[in-house]
Structure formats: C-alpha cells, structure tokens
Structure 1
Amino acid sequence: MPRPLSKRWASWVVRYSWWIIGAWIILAITLRVAAPRWEDVALDGDFDYLPVKMSSVAGGRLLDEAFPGERSRSQIVLVLSRDPGENEKLRKTDAIVGLDLLRRLYHKLGEVSWQRAIKLGYEGGPDDNTQPWSPWIKLTREAFDTAIESDDAFYERIANNVPETAPTLEEPRLAIAYWDRGKLIESLGGQDDLVERDFEAALILKSRIPKLALPIGERDLTSWQSLLDVLSWQDPVIGSRLKKSGARLAVMQLSSELAATGNIATVEAVDQMIKDVVRYSGDFTEPGLKLELTGSAAIGGETLIAARDAIRYTESITVAMILLILAFVYRAPLLIFVPMISIAIAVIVSTSLIALLTDWSARGVVPGLDLRVFTTSRIFIVVILFGAGTDFCLFLISRLREEVSNQQLKRDWSLACEDGLSGVMSALIGSAMTTVVGLGMLWIASFGKFHYTGPVIALCLLVGLCVCISLTPALLRVIGPASFWPSTIVLKSDTVTVSIGDTSGDAGSSSLWSMIALQITRRPFLGLFLGLGILAFPAVYGFRQESAVTYDLSSQLSHAAKSRSGLRSLSSHFAIGEINPVTLLLVHDHDVAREDFDKQIKRLTKQIYAQEGVLTVRNADDPLGDFSPDREMGLLSGDAWKRRALRNHRAAQRHFFSSIDKYENRLARIDIVMDGDPFSLETSRRVSNLGKFLSAQASDPNADFSKATVLLTGTTPSIIDLRTVTLKDNRRIKVAVVIAVFIVLLLVIRRWLLCTYLIVTVLISYYATLGLTVLFFRYAYGGDFVGLDWKLPLFLFVILVAIGQDYNVYLVTRIVEEERRLGWIAALRRAVSRTGGIITACGLVMAATFFSMTSSAWLPAVAHLFGFEASGGGIALRGIVELGFALGLGVLIDTFYVRTILVPSFVAAIGTFRHRQSKAARLSDESSGD
C-alpha cells in the first residue's frame, strides 16, 4: 500500500535537510540581489485605479489628451494667516515672511519650467511661439521676473536689519534668480545689457556663483518636477481672490494625482522651504503668524508619509512582539530562532519575488503578466506573513513535541520530525489555503488596489507556507534535540525521556483545556446558544454600521498632520471648495462656431448657477467666477477692465478651450466651485445631482448640448466614483470569499454541516468585531469621529473570514484524526486539550502582529515618554490604526471565543444529538424485537 503524500513529503524533507536549507538561502540571496527595491516599484493613489469607464477617469484622460502637459490634478496651498479673532488682520511686517516665501517659490517654478522646456526639446535660441516648449519658456521668464520683484520688495523691508550671517545663493538676496534669468535671456539671444546687468547683480550678491550654480539641466529638481504653476496673492489680476484681511494664499498647481507617491518628496521639500522661510524671516514680524501647507496634494502626501512610517513601526513592533511571545511560550532560544529565521527567509523571498515580477510586468518582460504593488501592501504582507508564518511554525513544533513525548513510538529524532511534519501537513495546508483562496478572491474586484493587493498577499503567503513545511522542519532536523534546550530530550533505544518547560511525558496535556473540554461536552447546547446569543448583540450593531464609512482623506490623518492644521486655517478665511473645483467637460459630436459656442456656455452657466450648492462657475468669459449672470457692469467700469484682464491671464489662456485640432471647436471646460468640503457626503450628493442635470441636458434634443459627451472630474467626482465602485466590489467579493472558503473547508474537513457552521461563526465574529470597533473609535475620537475608513470593512471581512478559519481547521482536523481511534466525545475532549494551548499562543501571535499596525498612534508618544524620539513625522494614519485594531480584536474573538466555545459546543451538540438518535433507534429496535 503506497504511503500518503504527506508522509512521503516529510520523509523527503528529513532526508535532504541540508540541501533544503542551502536552497532556500541561495534563493533568498539571489532574489534579494536581482529584485528592485520595493519603494522603486510600489505605486499609490486611489483614483488612478478606478475602472476607465467611470466619469472621473474618462474626464481625467480627456483632460490629458486635450490639454497635454497642462492639467493640474492636485494642489498644495500655502496659507499665511493669523488666527481668527479680534486681531486677525495681518500686520504690515507679515509681508516680509510672505515675500520671502514667494521669491523662493517662484524661483523654483522657473527652474522646473525651464527643465520641462529642455525635456521638450529646447536647446537655446529665440522663442517663435510654435514649439511645444514655448509656453514653458515664457513661464520660466515670468517666474524669474516675479521672484526677483519679490526679492527686491523683501530686501527693501529688511535692509536695515539684515542678519549677520554669510550670504548664500538665497539669503539675504536671491542671487541665484538673477544668475538664472541672465542665463535664460542669454540662451534666448536677448539683449546683452540685460544679461550683463543680471550677471553683475548675481556676482555682487555672491561672488562665487559661477562655481556654485549648476547648469539648469543638471540640477536635482525631482521633488519639484510635478509643479506646473504658482498662483499667489501678489498676482495683479487674480490676487484679490487669494487674500483676505487675515490670510494670504499661494496655490501650487501640480500635475500629480493627490495620492501619487511622488507627492511625499514634494510635500517634504515644500515643508523644508517653509522651515527655511520661518527661520530666516520669522523674527521680522510679531508672534502669532502661521505659515502652513494644505490642499489635496499635501493631504495625499502626508497620508503616504504616515503610511511609510506605519510600515516602519509595524515591522519593528511585529518582530519585537513575536520574539516576546515565543520567549514566553518556549523559553528555549533555538525554538525562537527557528521560526524567526524561517519567517525572515519567507519575507525576503516573497517580497523580492513580488518586486521582481512587478518590475517585469511594468517593463513587459513577461507577456501577459499584469502585477502591481502599492505602498500599503507591504504592511499586510509583513503582518500576515509574520503572524501566519509563526502560527505554522508553532503548529509544527507543537506536533513535534507531542511526537518526541510519545515513549511508545519514537526511537530517533529523524522519525519524530518526519511524523510530526506528516501529522500536521493537512492542517497547515488547509489553514493556509483558506487564507490564500480568500485573499485571492480580491482579484475579481473592479477597483485596482483591491484587484492587485489580494493576489499579491496570497502569493506571499504561499511562499510562507512552502518555507514552513520545508525549511522549518529541515532546521529542526539539523539542530536536533538541542532545539528544546535548556529542556532535555534523551533518546534511547526503546524510550524517550523528555522534559520541556514544566511538562513531562504527555507534553500536550493541559488541565485548563481539559477542564474546558469537559464542561463543554457536558452542557453543549447551553454553551452553543448562550455563546451565539452574547455575540449577536455587537454583531447586529456591526451589521447596521457596515456602510457608515468615510471617504474623507483628510479625516484619516491625525491632528498632528500639518495639512489638517493648514486646512483649518484655510477654512477659517476661505471657502474650501475654491481650491478643489469640479471640472465639467462638454464635448460636442460636431464642430461649433466659436461665437455660438460662447453663447451656449453662457446659457449653460446661468443654468448651473441655479443648481443646489453651486457657489461660482468659472469659464472662458469669467475665469475666476467673479461675475455671476445677474451682475451688471458698464463697458468702462473697473469690473469690465478686470474681466478683460482675466481673460488674457496665463491662468485662463488655453485653460477652457483646447488648442488640439481634434477638440478645438468641440470641447469646452467649465470649473464649478461647490459649497462645502469636497470630501463630504453632502457635497457628493450635490455633485451627483448636478451630474444628473447635465446628463438630462445632453439627452434633451432641444438643449444646446444635445448629444454631447458630459464628464465630471476632480476630487468630489472621483470620490463619488470610488464609492460606487467599491460598494459594488464589496458585495461581489464577500459572496465570492464565502463560497471559496467554504469549498476549501469542505475539501479539508468533508462535513458540509460543520463547514457551514464554521462559516456562520466567522461571519458573526466579523460583524461583532465591526460593531465593537465602531463603538471603540466613536468613543476614542469623540466629536471628531466621521466613520471608519472605507477600506476597513472589506479587508476586515476577507482577512477574518480567511484567517479566522485557521484555528478552526486545526482544531477540527485534530478532532477528525482522534475520532478514528476514539469515540466522538473522547476525541473532542482530547483534541481541545491537545490543541488549546498552541492555538491560544498562535492567536496571541496573530493578534499581536495585527495590533502592531496601531503602533504609529502610540509608539511616538511612548518613545517620547522614555526620552526617545521615534523616527518619522509622528502622523498616525487612522485607516491603518483602525484596521489593525479591528483585525487584532477579531482574531482574539476567534481564538478565545469562537474556537474555545462556539466550535466545540457545536461539535458536542451534534455528537450528543446523534448519540441520542442512535440510542433512540436502538431502543426502538429492541422494542420491535420484543
């Protein structure tokens, strides 16, 4: 009779232990060297991964096509303000700080614009207005001019109090701006006297500038490369919209999406510029002045910074917690060493493999390979690999300890390792496959981050499983009985003497778990119904709160985030919607004369003003939305002059009508400022209603824009599309995960009623966990609570349903194994007694790894309490903190409640029910016989 596959595998692993160890080490080194860094291939952002059919995505692509290189997809807003109150007005001396900021900022704009022109082919020579680089060369000159004008005004105010420090390229005068403008005019073939004047000024300000100033094409402007333009309160035309009595704004328009990974460097560079300004100019004015940054890109960038810090904290705390738990469980150094080495190899191999495959996918090395990873994916990979990997190792070591403790069967260490691995193989594979299949079901999602993240984590877990069923037993085999040192194992010809911790003989026995098993089997129905009843209360609350989530990115940052502080200052003086307008794109299916097109837009603008929540409408006729349709003005009035000036401003030119031949007389762009926070549900509702109105216009055969393509894009339309897509994904994925995990359970356990019950228990556990999580954070955040992060319910569901089955599978497979030689009640009691301690340890490990995701919320404060400063920005990302808390709580509920009470009670109840039926049938047969 052929041996089972698990037995053959175990025998092979034991026989070739040294080869297996060497192979894994070589594979880890090879992949680590060959693979790119995770940071180099990781992507981020949410809106970029929506389906292409969504309005916001289609609108964004149309903007890129119709306005190439000019599309502002996000902003960083610099707010110079004083707190609202009796003395909220800015002081005259506050202008010194503002001018210092603007001179530096406009110079950066000039540098970036010049580099962009070079990339588009500019090599010198006069500008003939026909080249693709022409607009950027013009912007470069304007930016340098504005920087120097601001520098002159700045120095005029501080001339009598210049700090006695050595001059630099930027302090006290902006010498580099004069030098760069001279170089630009020279490259354009401009007037020699202007060039000489700028060079002379630069040399006077910094004599060594020819050696210090790199050529523009060689400067490292990576952090600023997404900068398209700067609009500030100093602008003579649009500046009035960017200043109030207590605040001034400078808006950096960026080409990057608000959560693009490049925004990390941009936000850090802008923050450093702010620090430099405050350091140099802050003492020239009265205390109380604030210079802060906010805006969509600042919020997105700080979100990514918080995620980066969370990854670093999570990895460190995860390792520390697992070391502590393993030390407490085993009190044996080598039994700590073996799991940690195994998991370290698993992490290196899996993350390097994923990074390599992602790089191949991006470069098209492997046809058909489509793989992407994200910044936050690494958090899930680390915690799940460390948690599940440690659990797998604990299961294996526990079974090995049982085998070496069995004096009747074992005569040598190799045989103990072989039987230990073969005995636990089915449980390990079944446990792992529930998680792998569950996470793999995210592949069916329409939302790109779900679609790619689930399979990536599943693949990493498969690598972890392979390590734990090959490398881990190979290490134990090679180390030998010394693995349990300082406990002793003496192998003899007929017996095995073992002393492990405080146990001897039957190392798996436990009086506590034996007592629990005894009580459950005595009163199974009481434990079953009482257990389900207690868990039902938070589960019902969680079910009702499942959709009460927030898509507000700014609310996910803690109050320590600079962008949130800046947002509060901004909202105290300006309408938030001003910096995040909704962009409407209208595309006729035929060419329209420009005069008729203008009239159509005016009529539509009047109708849009009548819609709920619309504050202003910006179009080619009214670029800033200053002049609503009911506002009268004379031909020669100041308002009429301002309107004409606005139409010719660089912010309006080519902004509202495309110069691309394909769209020149067909496409119109209108920016709509809505009342309210762009991320709020109320604003989303109003924008949705606006979209319905515009769609009705396109469907009306008598309307100006009949049969036109109508697209809304921008932050709020993207939030609306994100909500629509993810809600649909949630419903589909939950059904798919439940079916997939049920099939795996059925294949492993082969008892459909028990499998169905196991699914029901984890569903109840999920909803109970969700309910308790909502209650906890509602209390923790108080009035600042706006709902859990929108990603939490889905990831919590998938991970809990998948991982929550691990311990059930391990317990139930042990019950089935024991039932082959014992009665059902004895098998249940023995299985609970044998697995209780190890499953509890595994649950604590998994919960600890998930709770480590919350470390960004408390580690900096704890470190500061002990006189240390945690690295990073000290910003807690609420979404990760909430998910880590929820996952940790869910695992604890599964470990100490579901597996301890609900599952054994059900098995005992079914056994009792069948026993009573059998007894009744037997009595009936006896009665019939009589």
Structure 2
Amino acid sequence: MMRPNVDTRPAHRLASLVIRYWYIVLAAWLLAIVVTRSFAPSWNAIAYDGDFEYLPADLPSVAGGHLLDQAFPDERSRSDIIIVIAREHETLTESDDYVALDLQRRLTHRMAEVSIAKAKQLGWSGGVPAPGTRVEELLQRARQLLTQSIDADARFYEKFVDCLSQDDLPTPTEPRMAVAYWDNADLLQELGETDVSASDREAALGLLPDIAKWLPPIEDRELAPWMSLLNVLSWDDPAIGHRLQVPHARLIRLQLETELAATSNIATLEALEQLIENVQRFSGHCTQPGLKILPTGSAAIGGQTLIAARNAIRYTEIFTVLMILVILAFVYRAPLLVLVPLISIGAAVVTASGLVAVLADFARHHPSPWFDLRVFTTSRIFVVVILFGAGTDYCLFLISRLREEARRRPWRRACELALSRVTPALLGSALTTVLGLGMLWFAKFGKYHHTGPVIALCLLVGLLVCMTLTPALLFALGPRVFWPSRIRHQPARQAGIWGALSLTMTRYPWTTLIAGIVLLLIPAAYGTVKERDVTYDMSGQLSQQASSRRGLELLAKYFSIGESNPTTVVLVQPQPRPRQQMSKDVKQLREDVYALEGVKAVRTAGDPLGDYPLGDKRKKRMGLLDPNAWRRRLLREHPIAKRYFFSETPQYAERLARIDVVIKGDPFEAETAAHVVALRNWIQKQTVTEGSAWEGAEVFVAGTTASIIDLRRVTLRDNQRIKIAVVVAVLLVLIVVLRRVMLSLYLIFTVLLSYYATVGITAVVFRWFYGDQYLGLDWKLPLFLFVILVAVGQDYNVYLVTRVLEEQKRGGWLSALRRAISRTGGIITACGLVMAATFFSMTASAWFPWLAQITGWSQPSSTAMLHGIVQLGFALGLGVLLDTFFVRTFLVPSFITIVDRHKKKLPLRSSFVDDDSSQ
C-alpha cells in the first residue's frame, strides 16, 4: 500500500493544528475576549481628538501656539463658544434683553464658582492670599463676578418678578439671587471680611431661609464641565458691550482654555445647552415667541463635531451588523452559517479594540519616542467597518471553499484542505491591506500617522481570528452547520451566470477591456480634477440642523465672523526693551498693518478691540467729554487687555509683543488664507529690513486661518508621499503572491482607475445632493479613500488570480480561468456586497434620524451629522462596488485572456497547490 504524500507547507501545518486542537483554539479566544474586555480601558477614555494639535511641531502656526502657551500660561484662550441671542427679521425687545440677561447672570455666577474652585485647587483654603499671585487674581475676579451677578439678578427680578413661577422648588441655581448672595458671603468670610459677609448672608436667608440645607459648598458642585472657562464676555459689559450687540442680536462669549476639538468640550457644550434650556423654561415665556438662543464658535463647532462622530460610530456599528446579518441570511439561508461569521468578527472587534486600547493607554502613561500609539474618536469607525467587512469576507471565502471540499471528502479532511488552500489568498489579501494602511505611518500629520497602523493592527487580529477561531467553530459544529441544506458528495459543476460570463469574457477580451476602461475613464478624468478641490471648513462639515451651524449663520448675518477668529501675530525681540518703547513700536506696526489688503482691524494694548483704525488722529480729537474716552480707560484694566498683549513671564518680559489682526472674510476661505500669508510675509520682511524697529525679531503667526494654511500644506504633501508608498507596498505584495509582474502592474492600474472614477462620481453626487451648500469634498476623503481602495480593492483580484493559478494544474490556462471565474464569482460578489454594505453603513447618520422621524420612531433632534464621514462612507462603498462588479468581473479576466492568449499555459505554477487537489 502506498503511503499518502505528506504536505509540509506552513498553511497545511497550520490547518492541521487548528483542526486537531480546535477546543484549545476556542478556549484561547474565549480567554482573550474575557481578558481584553475586563482590563482594557474604554475607547473614549484613551481617544484623542482635534486636527490642529497633530500638525508637525515645526510648522509656523504650531510654533506660534506653543509660544503663546509659554508666554501667557494662565490666560491663553484656545477656543470659544459664542452664544447668539437674536430674532431673524425684527429687532430685539426690552423683554428679549432681560431673557438674555437671565442667561448672562447664570454664566457670570458659574464663572465665579469656577474661579473659586481653581483657587482651591491651587491650595487656597482661606485667608488673604499673597499679593501678585494667581490665587489673588482668581479670588479678585470671583468677587467682581459675584457682585456683577447680584446686580444682574436685581435688574432681572425687578423686570420679570411678576411673570416668573413662584411654585418651583429651590435648586442649586434657583433662586439665583439667593445663591449669589450666599456664595459671596462664604467667599468674604473665608477672606476674613466678616461684616460684609454677614450682610450678604442675611440677604440670602431673607430670600430663602433654608438655603443652607440644600446648597452644597462650591467644591462639591457639578463644575467639571465648566472648569475650562477663562472668561465670560457679554453685551452687558460697559467696556466691550458695544462690540457684542446690534439691534437684532446680542452676544455672550465664553473663552475656554481647551482646544476647539478637545473631548471635554462635549461636556461643556452639553452643560451649556442644558443651561439655555433652563433659561428658556424659566424666563423665555416672559417675552414674545421667536427669540433664538444658539451656541456657536470654535468650541461649540468642535464639540458638536465630536458628538456627531460619536453618533456616527453608534449608527455605523448597529447598521454594519444588521447589513451583514441580512446579506449572510440571503446568501446562506442557514442560521449557523450566519452565526459563525458574526461570532468570529465580534470576537475580532472586541479583542482588537481591547488590545489597541491597552497599548494606547500604556503609551499615554509611559510616553516614549520609540512607542507612541494613539487612537482617535473617528478611528473606531474604520476599525469597525474594515474588521466587519474584511473579516466577513475572509469567513465567506473559507466557508465557500469548505462547502466545495466537503462535497468530495470527509469533514475533517475538508476542513483542513479548505483552510490550507484559502490561507495563501487570505494572507495575500490581508497583507495588501495591512501594508497599505501601514504606509500611513510615514505621514507627517499626526492623525494619518497613527490611524493607519492602528487599523492595520486590528486587521491582523481579524485575520488571525478567521484563520483559527472560524475553522475551529466550523469543525466543531460539523456538517450540521449547513442546515437546513445538505452536503451532497458530488463534483462541483460549472454552470449558471458566472459560467456563462466566463465564456463571454474569454471570447471577446479586447472588446470587454477597451469598453470597460473607456467607461471608467470618463468619471476618472473628472475625479483627477476634483481630487484637490476639497474643503477644510470645519463648520461646513456639520449638517444644517446642528445648533452650532445655525448659530454661525445667525452670527454671520449680523456680525463679522472674522471678529471672533483673528490672526494672532507674536513678535519676540532678541533683547529686552523698555515697555514704553515696545508700545511705541507696536503702535507704528499697527498703523502699517492697517494699510495691508484685507485687514479689517488691528487689536493692540492701546486699542484692545480694534475700534480706532484711524489711530492717533481719532485719539487727538477725543477729549474728556468724548463718550469713548471713559471706555478706553475701562479697557486698560479689563481682562481682555490685561496681560494679553505683553507677556509678563520672566523669559519673555519686555521682549514679546502680540497683536491680533482681523481679516475680512470667512477664516476658512482661500482668499482669507491668501491675506494671512501676505501678512506673515510682510511682517517677516520687517525683521530683515535694516533700521526697522523689529530687525532681528522672531515672528510667529497663530490662529484658525494660519492653522488651516499649515494643515493644507502638510496634508497635501502627505497625500503625495503616502500614495507613492502605498502603491509600491501593494505592488510588491502582489508580485510576491502572484509572481507575475505585468499582471500585478495591471491590477494596480485598475484600482487607480476605479479610485479616480469613484472620486469623480462622489463629487457629482454630493454637489447635486447639497446644492448651494456644497463646499467640496472633505479634505480627509482623498487620502483615506486612496489607501483603503488600493489596499482593500485588491482583495477580490487576489482571490480570483490565486484561484486561476490553482485551477491551472487541472487543465489549460483558458479552462482554468473559466473555472476560477465560475467557482469564485458568486462568493466574490457576496464578499463585495458585504464590504460595500459595511462602508455604506457609515452614511447612516445622514438618513436614519430622518427615517426615524418620518416613521414616528423618534422626535426631531438637533443631533448633527458629519458630512465628511458620510462622504467617505459613500465613496468607499461605491469604490468597492466598482471593484467587485466592474474591475474584477470585466477588466481583470479580459486582461488575463489577452496576455495569455498566445500561451498554452500560465508560465508559473502556483506554489500553494498541493498534491491532493486532483482527487
């Protein structure tokens, strides 16, 4: 008796081990799930956010921001929330002003509480603080704010006392006047001013006798969402109020110490929206209907962007699972075959997410130059869709091959052969994706740099699950996994639509190839033009129903948006100069900057609001009786001017000067960016001009527009660098796996063609969908689309070509191609539908809330969606469908036919065909 050949290939050895020790595999994965679930921190706890914070440190805007942090460590506002109180088509009434005053007094009191809480965090526990310290400054501000709050309370109740409900139970915020008196009494008592404290406490008890029973001390109140507050500026301020009001609108501006996309802004925005809701309930009915109170500004937009991303993740996860469930049920019509992939990918998502969270948490607490792993809120969307999409595809190919092998062999042998024969295709497919995504590591922009490797790591975990856990589950369940269908032991037949299509492709290859390429070239040509036509407008990424977007539109209607987003210019002299001389130099620079094109206002220590563009001429005419003279005196000691324009830190004292330049137009527009570039170049020129007051000085420019300029520059460079790296990496993997250089080059060409066609079609669709609101494709779309399509788009080509190479041993090249198309056509189509469905699930935030509303499932919501995620999900789904139904179906088979038409067989024999294949 002849001994059977023993296959010693790694793929076969792996298959044998997994099937032999299936129970150990199941136990190991169960343990991995339990461990990662138990010990890994939540994704939100370790996720970073923002865009500008991850620009390279050597860029001008980043260097300028770091310098401002050092020069103004306690008072640097990094973002703001602007509350717009307005009527769209009529002027505000007196009652409207008092509703606005209700909101302003609450925020002023909250700012006082925050100031006291910060003083306590710095170690103050009572007594008079040391003069000139940060604690003294905080407590002085708290006293002023509480006094302002009490004054505002008195005016408010005098106006609205008759229309307010007297039946509401006391809360830590109502009645506000009693709380303000009580907090002021506590503060004065701790400062040792007992007489005044007793008077305020008596006033508080007169308003609410049992206030001490339910009002907690300041340190025990829910102040966490408000701790980033630096200042509250309002139209009611006598020094600056004239710049924050027009007949139709009033503004309240909250200055924050957090970046615009800091995750803590979510809590701040939600607390503010709750406060606005309380105001509308408490006093809103005291005025005519139609008064709008909307938050906007950089932090509100950033916070709602993060909220929208959080909602997009939730919708994506839900609809990804539902779509896969529906597709698997339609393909297999077997409950267990639906359950196995879902269990496998669920295990992969839990394990991979937990592993990444543990590594990211370690990197955060143990920073090291050789290990810096970060995740972002939106990274999870890519992890979920790619793991579910690619992982399900891997499972489908394994199950399809198992069904094919089980027709001719015993179950154990069928499981081993199915895994061993699919493994090379799975490895080749996964490696193209992993290496393609891994190339993002070479990006300079931090979000690209970290996101790609994280997704690649998660995909490796998914691949390992599909090569171990999935076959172990299939073997353990046995042939009953196909119930209610039965496995009939008979040779697979070549028939059906894919059999007919394979004959057509091989009979008319030139017609198919030329027609297919021409059809894709039309949208691809448009895509090459629109690839760089992208928008960096963060507010434009939010949908119209977002409150911050509506607030921005209301703000732009009555005020200049540039006023709230000035460009900050910081100049550092090489040697200290007297403050008087520095002020004189800044004054002259201010006059020169006003002459530049596009400059609307220049804010300096002498003119903190930029009210006097005519400079000295206006000032000389201003006498003691001039109504603006007293305002200028107030501004000198106002928080917006004090220690704002000149640094008092020892390193930069009498060396650093700061001016804020308001540019005409939207901070996100290209024209505004051009004006900022011209401003930076002009000031830089002064530092090298002999005899200039700023000769030898260093110049730094910061602000939203400056950051957008740097973000655009670095991402465009990254796009070019990463595209080349991804193409080279994927091409090398294809050459190694397929061993056919010309074919590998052609496969790269087809995905590039489908990429540009996808960009063109996506641009047309969203221009039509958004109409006048269309600003361009999201700036992140081209790179992520390119990397994922080039990497993931090769999966189905690899599956097809590796099967061609395997089938070639059983006959000639033409019959091998036809058999490969016939036997893989259905399953590749199913895989493509699964992958496209997972990407299309990223668009759920655009249509599901609307669907839920019109069907009565939920009430209308102000929850925003992110246009960028919706666009990317649509583009990725479309690109996968093009690769599945067009590239793989027509372009690849026709090319193989043409190249090999004059050959009797394929020149290379597959290295992963075993001797058992002919049985």
Q: TM-score range by the shorter chain?
A: over 0.9
CA distance in 2, matches of 1:19, 1:519: 48
- The one of 495, 498, 509 aligned to 1:524: 509
TM-score (norm 2): 0.96
- Farther off after superposition, 823-832 or 907-916: 907-916
Counterpart check, 1:575 vs 2:571: no
In the alignment, what sits opposite 1:119? Answer: 121
Q: How does 1:313-462 map to 2 (within 5 A)?
A: 313-364=315-366, 368-406=370-408, 410=409, 412-462=410-460
In the alignment, what sits opposite 2:641? Answer: 652
Counterpart check, 1:717 vs 2:728: no
Q: How does 1:94-243 map to 2 (within 5 A)?
A: 94-169=96-171, 170-190=173-193, 192-243=194-245
CA distance in 1, matches of 2:240, 2:545: 32
Equivalent position amino acid for 1:71 in 2 = R
In the alignment, what sits opposite 1:310? Answer: 312
CA distance in 2, matches of 1:126, 1:692: 49
Q: Does structure 2 conserve the Cα–Cα contact (< 8 Å) formed by 1:508 and 1:833?
A: no
Q: Does structure 2 conserve the Cα–Cα contact (< 8 Å) formed by 1:106 and 1:230?
A: yes
Equivalent position amino acid for 2:886 in 1 = Y
Counterpart check, 1:692 vs 2:681: yes
In the alignment, what sits opposite 2:762? Answer: 773
Q: Does structure 2 conserve the Cα–Cα contact (< 8 Å) formed by 1:173 and 1:205?
A: no
The residue matched to 2:793 in structure 1 has which SS? helix
In the alignment, what sits opposite 1:249? Answer: 251
In the alignment, what sits opposite 1:758? Answer: 747
Aligned-residue offset at 1:365: 7.8
In the alignment, what sits opposite 1:30? Answer: 35
The residue matched to 1:712 in structure 2 has which SS? strand
The residue matched to 1:638 in structure 2 has which SS? coil
Aligned-residue offset at 1:917: 14
In the alignment, what sits opposite 1:287? Answer: 289
In the alignment, what sits opposite 1:783? Answer: 772
Which consecutive residues of structure 1, in runs of 5 or more, have no partner in the other structure? 490-496, 499-504, 919-930
Q: Does structure 2 conserve the Cα–Cα contact (< 8 Å) formed by 1:107 and 1:143?
A: yes
Q: Does structure 2 conserve the Cα–Cα contact (< 8 Å) formed by 1:155 and 1:172?
A: no
Q: Does structure 2 conserve the Cα–Cα contact (< 8 Å) formed by 1:155 and 1:173?
A: no
CA distance in 1, matches of 2:7, 2:474: 26
CA distance in 2, matches of 1:917, 1:764: 26
Equivalent position amino acid for 2:576 in 1 = D
Equivalent position amino acid for 1:843 in 2 = G
Aligned-residue offset at 1:697: 1.2
Counterpart check, 1:679 vs 2:675: no
Extract structure 1 runs of 4+ deviating beyond 6 A: none
Q: Does structure 1 conserve the Cα–Cα contact (< 8 Å) formed by 2:106 and 2:176?
A: no
Aligned-residue offset at 1:163: 1.2
CA distance in 1, matches of 2:114, 2:860: 31
Aligned-residue offset at 1:616: 0.7
- Farther off after superposition, 759-768 or 218-227: 218-227
CA distance in 2, matches of 1:418, 1:582: 65
Q: How does 1:26-65 map to 2 (within 5 A)?
A: 26-65=31-70
In the alignment, what sits opposite 1:924? Answer: none
Residues 521-578 of structure 1 deviation map (CA, whole Å, 9 limit, x = unaligned) = 0011111111111100000100011100000001110000001111111111111111
Equivalent position amino acid for 1:541 in 2 = Y
Counterpart check, 1:78 vs 2:73: no
Counterpart check, 1:836 vs 2:834: no
The residue matched to 1:229 in structure 2 has which SS? strand
In the alignment, what sits opposite 1:622? Answer: 607
Residues 792-816 of structure 1 deviation map (CA, whole Å, 9 limit, x = unaligned) = 0000000000000000000010011
In the alignment, what sits opposite 1:556? Answer: 541
In the alignment, what sits opposite 2:593? Answer: 608
Q: Does structure 1 conserve the Cα–Cα contact (< 8 Å) formed by 2:813 and 2:906?
A: no
Q: Does structure 2 conserve the Cα–Cα contact (< 8 Å) formed by 1:543 and 1:771?
A: yes
CA distance in 2, matches of 1:839, 1:827: 17
- Farther off after superposition, 766-775 or 703-712: 703-712
CA distance in 1, matches of 2:18, 2:820: 27
The residue matched to 1:584 in structure 2 has which SS? strand
The residue matched to 2:797 in structure 1 has which SS? helix
Residues 798-840 of structure 1 deviation map (CA, whole Å, 9 limit, x = unaligned) = 0000000000000010011111221110010000001000000
Aligned-residue offset at 1:2: 5.8
CA distance in 1, matches of 2:788, 2:622: 66
CA distance in 2, matches of 1:292, 1:139: 27
CA distance in 2, matches of 1:153, 1:414: 85
CA distance in 2, matches of 1:909, 1:143: 81
CA distance in 2, matches of 1:864, 1:26: 42
CA distance in 1, matches of 2:493, 2:178: 77
- The one of 455, 468, 471 aligned to 2:469: 471
- The one of 57, 68, 73 aligned to 1:68: 73
The residue matched to 1:68 in structure 2 has which SS? coil
Counterpart check, 1:860 vs 2:849: yes
Q: Does structure 2 conserve the Cα–Cα contact (< 8 Å) formed by 1:6 and 1:422?
A: yes
In the alignment, what sits opposite 1:584? Answer: 569
CA distance in 1, matches of 2:177, 2:272: 17
TM-score (norm 1): 0.95
Q: Does structure 2 conserve the Cα–Cα contact (< 8 Å) formed by 1:227 and 1:252?
A: yes
Aligned-residue offset at 1:134: 2.0
- The one of 692, 698, 702 aligned to 1:703: 692
Q: Does structure 2 conserve the Cα–Cα contact (< 8 Å) formed by 1:56 and 1:721?
A: yes
Q: How does 1:844-855 map to 2 (within 5 A)?
A: 844-855=833-844
Aligned-residue offset at 1:707: 1.5
Counterpart check, 1:814 vs 2:812: no
Equivalent position amino acid for 1:290 in 2 = K
Cα distance change, pair 684–576 in 1 and its aligned pair in 2 (3 A) = same
Q: How does 1:262-301 map to 2 (within 5 A)?
A: 262-301=264-303
Aligned-residue offset at 1:865: 2.4
Percent of pairs with identical residues? 54
Aligned-residue offset at 1:873: 4.8
In the alignment, what sits opposite 1:501? Answer: none
CA distance in 2, matches of 1:233, 1:870: 34
Aligned-residue offset at 1:178: 1.5
Equivalent position amino acid for 1:623 in 2 = P
Counterpart check, 1:733 vs 2:722: yes
The residue matched to 1:800 in structure 2 has which SS? helix
- Farther off after superposition, 215-224 or 389-398: 215-224
Q: How does 1:492-571 map to 2 (within 5 A)?
A: 497=488, 505-506=490-491, 509-571=494-556
CA distance in 2, matches of 1:152, 1:604: 45
Q: Does structure 1 conserve the Cα–Cα contact (< 8 Å) formed by 2:751 and 2:794?
A: yes
Aligned-residue offset at 1:913: 4.2
Q: Does structure 1 conserve the Cα–Cα contact (< 8 Å) formed by 2:808 and 2:906?
A: no
CA distance in 2, matches of 1:106, 1:595: 34
- Farther off after superposition, 53-62 or 757-766: 53-62
Q: Does structure 2 conserve the Cα–Cα contact (< 8 Å) formed by 1:427 and 1:810?
A: yes
Q: Does structure 2 conserve the Cα–Cα contact (< 8 Å) formed by 1:310 and 1:853?
A: yes
CA distance in 1, matches of 2:860, 2:355: 28
Equivalent position amino acid for 2:51 in 1 = D
Residues 563-619 of structure 1 deviation map (CA, whole Å, 9 limit, x = unaligned) = 111111111111111111111100011111212111110111011111111111111
